[in-house]
Amino acid sequence: MKARSILLVLSTITFLVGCGRPDLSADKVVVRSEKASPIGEFVATSFYCEGGGAAGYAYENVSLRRAGEDLDQRDGLLGKHKTWKGFSDITIRWIDDSNLEISYKQDASPAYGEHVSERVDSKYGIKIHYIATD
C-alpha cells in the first residue's frame, strides 16, 4: 500500500512538471517588423510564430517590451488566447513616445469572436491604438 502511495505521488509530480510552461525555444518565430519608440526606451515587434508539434499552432501578434529585453512570443497584445490565429497583415507605428498604433486584419468568423475582442489597452504607460482594416 505504501509503495502505491509513493508511486502515485511520484506520478503526480512527474505529470505536473511535464505540464508546466511549454518550451518556447521550439517555436519558430519570424519578426515581420520591429520599431523602437522615438526615444528608444521601448520596442514594438510584429511577428509570426508557429510550433506545437502535431497539434500545432501558427499565429501573428505584436509584442511591446523594454529595449534590450528578449521577445516573448506568448506576451502578445492581440487576442485572448496567445497561440490562436485571428489577426494578420499587422503593421505597427509609433505616434509619439507614449502612443503606439497597431493596424491589422481580423478574422470575422463567429468562432473567433471572443478571442479577437480582447486587446491590451496600455502597457508600460504606452497607450495602444488599434485599427482593424478590411
Could you read off the pLDDT of 60-112 as tens digits, one per residue? 999 999 999 999 998 889 877 777 778 889 999 999 999 999 998 887 777 76
22 within 8 A of 41, measured Cβ to Cβ: no
Task: Please indicate, yes or no, if residue 54 is contained in any of the structural domains.
Answer: yes
Q: Residue 19 pLDDT more than 90?
A: no
Residues 100-129 as b or e (16 or more Cβ within 10 Å = b): bebebebbeeeebeebbeebbeebeebebe
Residue 41 vs residues 30, 65, 96, 99, 103: alpha-carbon distances, Å: 22, 9, 12, 13, 22
Predicted confidence band of residue 3 (pLDDT cuts 50, 70, 90): low
Q: Which three cell numbers stand for residue 134?
A: 478590411
Strongest mean pLDDT among 4-13, 15-24, 82-91? 82-91
Domain range for 88 is: 24-133
Count of the separate structural domains present in the chain: 1
Residue 79 lies in a domain: yes
Would the pTM count as exceeding 0.85?
no
Residue 47 domain-assigned?
yes
Task: Say if 6 falls within a structural domain.
Answer: no
17 assigned to some structural domain: no
Confirm whether 19 is domain-assigned.
no
Look at residue 35 and tell me if it is in a domain.
yes
- Residue 16 is assigned to a structural domain of this protein: no
